[in-house]
Amino acid sequence: LDASSGTTAVDSAGTLDGTLSGGPVWHPAGGKIGGALEFDGSDDRVSFGTPDIDAGPGLTLALWMRADDFGVSDARLISKAGSAAAQAHYWMLSTINGTGLRFRLRAGANTTTLATSTGEVQAGEWYHVAATYDGTTMRLYKNGVEVASTSKTGAIDTNGGVAAAIGNQPAGAGDNPFDGLIDDVRIYN
């Protein structure tokens, strides 16, 4: 998210360029690492197709975030989902109850939700947040420190017809918009 203009968020790995909608604003020098993208907490998102993580036991979602506020208490940072319902999520990293963090993952035909208590993140501060799954455990990290974990098994479910987005739910899957800056989004299998 280091661009300075336009409606395309270029994927540095070269495979999942995103399309901006709703009017997120580029901040070429305002990110944690280079530039960042500012979401308004209303209708902004970056859609990047219908990616699937290889059907296997590994996944990492990671990004830098700086919230302006928590007007939407369960704002999506990154999400692959068919609706806002828990079981409609394939993978998702979000806030919850305002200042908590949440990770949802569908594996073994069941979506599991892992959440922290409130107070993990505050408005106006940069945080590196990551969600990982290794085939036996889901984990949430803040600034490199594990803040929550739960047991989970099974291969990650895939569905090439379900879209993914940054900063909100995918288009047509409800609205849970984030208000603030997101930078350096990464997805690993």
pLDDT category at 53 given cuts 50, 70, 90 is confident
What is the per-residue pLDDT for 13?
A: 85
CA distance 189 to 184: 17
Portion of the chain with pLDDT greater than 90, in percent: 90
CA distance 144 to 76: 20
> Residue 89 carries which side chain, given as an amino acid letter?
H
What is the per-residue pLDDT for 55?
A: 66
CA distance 61 to 48: 15
Q: Name the least confident of 22-36, 51-65, 150-164.
A: 51-65
Portion of the chain with pLDDT greater than 70, in percent: 99
What is the per-residue pLDDT for 138?
A: 98
What is the per-residue pLDDT for 115?
A: 98
Token pair for residue 130? Answer: 């990551």
CA distance 187 to 148: 19
The more confident residue out of 56 and 48 is 48
pTM over 0.85: yes
Mean pLDDT of 3-24: 92
Check the CA dihedral 137-169-144-148 and report its sign: negative
Question: Do 170 and 79 form a contact (C-beta atoms < 8 A)?
Answer: yes
In degrees rounded to 5, what are phi and psi of residue 169? -65, 155
CA distance 5 to 171: 22
CA distance 94 to 121: 11
What is the per-residue pLDDT for 70?
A: 96
As a whole number of Å, the CA-based R_g of the chain is: 15
CA distance 93 to 102: 6
pLDDT digits (tens, 9 = 90+) for 120-172: 999 999 999 999 999 999 999 999 999 999 999 999 999 999 999 999 999 99
pLDDT category at 39 given cuts 50, 70, 90 is very high
